[in-house]
Chain A
Amino acid sequence: MRGNPAVDTTTEMAAEVAAGAPVLPLARPIRRRVRVGVVGIAGVLLLIVLSGVGALAPWIAPYDPDETTGNPFESPSGGHWLGTNDVGRDILSELIYGVRISMTIGFLAAAVSISIGTLVGVVAGYFAGWVDVALMRLVDIVLVIPFLPLMILLAAYLGPSFWNIILVIGVLVWARPARVLRAQVLSLRSLDYIEAARVLGASSGRVLRRHILPGVLSLSLAQFILAASSAILIEASLSFLGLGDPTAKSWGSTLYYAQVRSAFLTGAWKWWVVPPGLMITSAVLGFAFTGFALEEILNPRLRR
């Protein structure tokens, strides 16, 4: 299901299928390239705008989000464009500062997961044999374990804190990138010049460093961005379920407070729930567009 790294996005599924068959040639109409380019640019633009908002928060936000600057539960007005929350703090300011928290969580969690994923994928793909089998079994195990329940369980066990959330997400999201990168390494490994290098006695370390890693790096980047997109969604879900850190003012925690303080009942949801959801969607979209475009461009299997 969506949000589940086992079946998230489609490109690596198709790649998996194709992995059993000879690589198919694919014609690339110019229009497709342009479209991928447009999507990519849209994504990058979104990310730049969001990052800008986050960086310039102290100058853009009308109030200090931790200060009570109005009465609780105020509707939107000239003084507070998105009204105030349950303790009289400006919602717009909270959302603006929330960019920092949510994006940071997304990046850090993605970093953890890609580090693990790249390591596992490259080692499995390059060394093959029983190392590959063992690591891929590990990947299968991680993917088999029911993702959402495990996420809830880990979050409940480790407790609601900023770093625990990052850890939980990172530990769950690495398996899919590992698979994709392994496939990439497998195809790289079979390239003539790399075979030649190995036959000629180049050490594994050297081959890895000079030939494999550079080839994998760009795909890693694409996976990183996609992982960040998942991470932001997961953090929002965890926070909403009450398993996140309510003192870290992410968009997810804004939604949590909105929900437990009856925003859906009082009509406050229109300015307290819709905007944070849109922010989350924008961020996820930004990462997804960028990652999608990057993967299209960088995945050599799709080029040829």
Chain B
Amino acid sequence: MLRFLAGKGVQYALVLLFAITLNFLLPRMMPGSPLLFLVGEDVGFMPAEQRAQIMRAFGLDQPLWRQYVIYLGNLAQGDLGFSYQQGRPIVEIIRNRLPWTLLLVGLSLLLATFVGVAWGLLAAWHRGGPVDFASLAVAMFFESTPSFWLGMIFIATFAAGLGWFPIFGAQTIGIPLSGVAWIADRLRHLALPLATLTLITIPGMFMIMRYAMLTVLGEQYITTARSKGVVERRVMYGHAMRNALLPVATVCMLNLGTIVSGATVIETVFSYPGVGRLLFEAVLARDYPVIQATFFVVTVSVIAMNIIADLLYPVIDPRLRHAR
């Protein structure tokens, strides 16, 4: 068991190193200089020596390998760097943004799992019937719609049109609120992005649950069909469900890993100040340190979730305790 974990550990370390190196190189291979975003739009009027002074001050004139070594060293110390654009330590920026993303994606994942599992159960129960068929059709429809399209239609209808929800942001600006009003305000801003994200995540959960149930049920069906006597359908479904939850749990845990990047498009559409949107803005602005740091944070979380999944798997499914 320990040897198995050590082997996996080395593999994940390699993945991490590869990802870090890729993260470092990719932004640097992109066209354009970060100077625009160091100094602002008026940099064009600056004479060359002063531009060079600024480049020196920010270390952009160092050879690539030297920048890489510095980067690795900083990472090891937990220093994620300083944003050229915002003039703030990146840890601070991410710390401000991360909770919003975690809130949005965490809640939607929870909701989607519950709804998806229940729905999958329902469809499997009525397997073959019109309910099952209709469910499949609806699920596939929502899995096929572009998330941003759905989001913008929601904004146009419920926010701009009916005025039930705010149009942008995570909170109302400038008005100090407290207690219930504070929570209500946050929830109102969360409602539409949450609804959109959940709506497009549910079908995935639904399909896995339904498929897994049917897979397991197939076996049980044959077994019980051969046995004499009446078998409680409910008991059969109870057993099936336990086994079917396994792939659901797998998908859940892998989804957790993509938690911070999964909602990028949604955050952009709803102007929701999360990490996904931060990454998008940073890429457009060629803010190298923020791009690197956000990638790093996301990669680490994905690996962490994979590790947790690897550890929990044998616990959930006894068959895998002696896995290769």
Contact with B along A278-295 (1 / 0, CB 8 A): 001100110011001000
Interface stretch of the complex, out of A54-62, A77-85, A215-223, A269-277: A269-277
Contact with B along A1-19 (1 / 0, CB 8 A): 1111011111101101110
Cβ of B148 within 8 Å of any chain A Cβ, yes or no, is: yes
Q: Across the interface, name the chain B residue whose C-beta is closest to A145.
A: B19
Task: Evaluate contact between A7 and B204: CB separation under 8 angstroms.
Answer: yes
Cβ of A144 within 8 Å of any chain B Cβ, yes or no, is: yes
Complex Cα–Cα for A289 and B30 (A): 38
Task: Evaluate contact between A241 and B144: CB separation under 8 angstroms.
Answer: no
Counting contact residues on chain A (CB < 8 A from B), the size range is 35 or more
A226: min CB distance to chain B, Å: 11
Complex Cα–Cα for A153 and B283 (A): 6
Cβ of A163 within 8 Å of any chain B Cβ, yes or no, is: no
Task: Evaluate contact between B265 and A6: CB separation under 8 angstroms.
Answer: no
Complex Cα–Cα for A10 and B136 (A): 13
Complex Cα–Cα for A265 and B306 (A): 43
Cβ of A228 within 8 Å of any chain B Cβ, yes or no, is: no
Complex Cα–Cα for A28 and B143 (A): 26
Complex Cα–Cα for A14 and B205 (A): 12
Task: Evaluate contact between B283 and A13: CB separation under 8 angstroms.
Answer: no
Cβ of B133 within 8 Å of any chain A Cβ, yes or no, is: yes
Contact with A along B24-52 (1 / 0, CB 8 A): 00110111000000000000000000000
The answer to whether residues A20 and B302 also contact, given A156-B284, A157-B29, A259-B152 and a CB cut-off of 8 A, is: no
Cβ of B308 within 8 Å of any chain A Cβ, yes or no, is: no
Contact with B along A24-35 (1 / 0, CB 8 A): 111111011001
Cβ of A140 within 8 Å of any chain B Cβ, yes or no, is: yes
Cβ of B291 within 8 Å of any chain A Cβ, yes or no, is: yes
In the assembled complex, which residues on chain A have CB atoms less than 8 Å from the CB atom of B260? 146
Complex Cα–Cα for A152 and B152 (A): 20
Task: Evaluate contact between B261 and A146: CB separation under 8 angstroms.
Answer: yes
Complex Cα–Cα for A95 and B282 (A): 33
Within 8 Å by CB of B128, from A11, A29, A153, A274, lies A29
Within 8 Å by CB of A269, from B26, B31, B152, B320, lies B152
Contact with B along A225-245 (1 / 0, CB 8 A): 000010001001100110000
Cβ of B5 within 8 Å of any chain A Cβ, yes or no, is: no
The SS class assigned to the A binding surface is helix
Q: Across the interface, name the chain A residue whose C-beta is closest to B197.
A: A1
Task: Evaluate contact between A13 and B15: CB separation under 8 angstroms.
Answer: no
A154: min CB distance to chain B, Å: 8
In the assembled complex, which residues on chain A have CB atoms less than 8 Å from the CB atom of B26? 153-154, 157
Q: Across the interface, name the chain A residue whose C-beta is closest to B266.
A: A1
Cβ of B77 within 8 Å of any chain A Cβ, yes or no, is: no
A58: min CB distance to chain B, Å: 27
The answer to whether residues A241 and B143 also contact, given A14-B211, A146-B302, A157-B31 and a CB cut-off of 8 A, is: no
Task: Evaluate contact between A27 and B218: CB separation under 8 angstroms.
Answer: yes
Complex Cα–Cα for A289 and B291 (A): 37
The answer to whether residues A237 and B265 also contact, given A137-B11, A156-B284 and a CB cut-off of 8 A, is: yes
Interface stretch of the complex, out of B80-88, B181-189, B228-236, B250-258: B250-258
Cβ of A39 within 8 Å of any chain B Cβ, yes or no, is: yes
In the assembled complex, which residues on chain A have CB atoms less than 8 Å from the CB atom of B221? 27
In the assembled complex, which residues on chain B have CB atoms less than 8 Å from the CB atom of A148? 261-262, 264-265, 276
Task: Evaluate contact between A6 and B283: CB separation under 8 angstroms.
Answer: no
Task: Evaluate contact between A229 and B144: CB separation under 8 angstroms.
Answer: yes
Task: Evaluate contact between A140 and B15: CB separation under 8 angstroms.
Answer: yes
The answer to whether residues A137 and B14 also contact, given A147-B258, A265-B160, A284-B144 and a CB cut-off of 8 A, is: yes
Q: Across the interface, name the chain B residue whose C-beta is closest to A26.
A: B218
Cβ of B149 within 8 Å of any chain A Cβ, yes or no, is: yes
A295: min CB distance to chain B, Å: 11
Within 8 Å by CB of B215, from A1, A24, A146, A285, lies A24
Cβ of A162 within 8 Å of any chain B Cβ, yes or no, is: no
Cβ of A197 within 8 Å of any chain B Cβ, yes or no, is: no
Complex Cα–Cα for A284 and B144 (A): 5
Complex Cα–Cα for A27 and B226 (A): 13
Task: Evaluate contact between A3 and B218: CB separation under 8 angstroms.
Answer: no
In the assembled complex, which residues on chain A have CB atoms less than 8 Å from the CB atom of B101? none
Complex Cα–Cα for A246 and B160 (A): 27
Task: Evaluate contact between A157 and B254: CB separation under 8 angstroms.
Answer: no
The answer to whether residues A17 and B250 also contact, given A144-B306, A241-B280, A269-B152 and a CB cut-off of 8 A, is: yes
A94: min CB distance to chain B, Å: 16
Cβ of A200 within 8 Å of any chain B Cβ, yes or no, is: no
Complex Cα–Cα for A285 and B146 (A): 11
Task: Evaluate contact between A288 and B140: CB separation under 8 angstroms.
Answer: yes
A75: min CB distance to chain B, Å: 16
Complex Cα–Cα for A231 and B212 (A): 26
Cβ of B113 within 8 Å of any chain A Cβ, yes or no, is: no
The answer to whether residues A285 and B30 also contact, given A20-B320, A137-B11 and a CB cut-off of 8 A, is: no
Residues of B participating in the A interface, judged by any CB pair closer than 8 Å:
11, 14-15, 18-19, 22, 26-27, 29-31, 127-128, 132-133, 136, 140-141, 143-150, 152-153, 155-156, 160, 200-201, 203-204, 207-208, 211-212, 214-216, 218-219, 221-222, 246-247, 250-251, 254-255, 257-258, 260-265, 268, 276, 279-280, 283-284, 291, 294-295, 298-299, 302-303, 306, 317, 319-320, 323
Contacts A10-B208, A20-B319, A255-B149 aside, 13 further interface pairs with beta carbons under 8 A come to A2-B204, A14-B211, A14-B247, A24-B219, A25-B222, A35-B128, A153-B27, A229-B144, A241-B148, A241-B265, A276-B149, A277-B153, A281-B145
Q: Which 5 A-B pairs have the closest CB atoms?
A: A1-B262, A26-B218, A284-B144, A10-B208, A277-B149
Residue contacts A-B, CB under 8 angstroms, 7 given: A26-B215, A27-B221, A144-B306, A146-B261, A146-B302, A156-B30, A237-B147
